[in-house]
Amino acid sequence: MSHIRQQTRLSLLIPRSAIEQTVARLAAQITEDYRGRQLVAVGVLKGAFIFMADLIRQLDIPLEIDFVAVSSYGGATESSRTVVMQHDLATDVRGKDVLVIEDIVDSGHTLCYLLKHLKGKGVASIRLCALADKPSRRELSVTIDYLGFTVPDRFVVGYGLDFDNKFRYLPDIYAVETYDADS
């Protein structure tokens, strides 16, 4: 009886140079749009932390920073469609402009839940900035106000994006391919 071992191979999808240029473009747009306003940047943990850190360092406006942790994945590569709020804001966002910063928009379930949750806190406005969008997987409509990249229907990792909490440290974005090592 043969035992089949699954191996993972990564193929480069978006190099760090393109990521750096895109972060600069997004920061310039956000700076222009929020100049003179009371902005709270809300990072969605864990995936958005690298993107958010690079983005906010390039913003030329004062802002507050907070984080939420929501999940619909667990250790899987497909959304469970059951969203769990693991950590809510510590900042009072009532009457303030909120910019949600997310790593990737996929099915839309997590972001629809989060945006509704934050709107319920009485924000002045709410917009979404996403590093990546995978529209081929969308089940619920989500408006992305500031978008970095549109990616194909493949599982992606690197630059904060993960597979079962692995590969976040990679400076580029890769597509994950699995194959049978014994083939």
pLDDT tens across 131-174, in order? 999 999 999 999 999 999 999 999 999 999 998 889 999 999 99
Q: Is residue 106 annotated as part of the catalytic site, yes or no?
A: yes
Q: Residue 75's pLDDT is what?
A: 52
> Is the residue at 160 inside a domain?
yes
- Beta pairing partners, 175: 11, 156
Return d(Cα 63, Cα 30) in angstroms, integer: 11
Q: Chain-wide mean pLDDT for the chain?
A: 91
* Mean pLDDT value of segment 125-129: 98
Checking if the pLDDT of 124 tops 80, the result is yes
pLDDT tens across 82-119, in order? 888 999 999 999 999 999 999 999 999 999 999 999 99
Sign of CA dihedral 161, 15, 169, 167: positive
Q: Active site residue: 92, 106, 145, 162, which one?
A: 106
**Cβ neighbours around 128 below 10 Å, total:** 21
Q: Residue 164's pLDDT is what?
A: 86
> Is the residue at 42 inside a domain?
yes
pLDDT tens across 84-94, in order? 899 999 999 99
The domain in which residue 60 lies consists of 9-178
Q: Residue 72's pLDDT is what?
A: 73
Return d(Cα 10, Cα 64) in angstroms, integer: 36
> Is the residue at 4 inside a domain?
no
Question: What is the per-residue burial (b if ≥16 Cβ within 10 Å, else e) of 41-58?
Answer: bbbbbbbbbbbbebbbee
What is the pTM assigned to this prediction?
Answer: 0.89
> Is the residue at 34 inside a domain?
yes
> Is the residue at 183 inside a domain?
no
Q: How many domains is the chain built from?
A: 1
> Is the residue at 2 inside a domain?
no
Specify the CATH number for the domain of residue 124: 3.40.50.2020
Q: Cβ neighbours of residue 174 under 8 Å, at least 6 residues apart? A: 10, 11, 12, 13, 156, 157, 158, 167
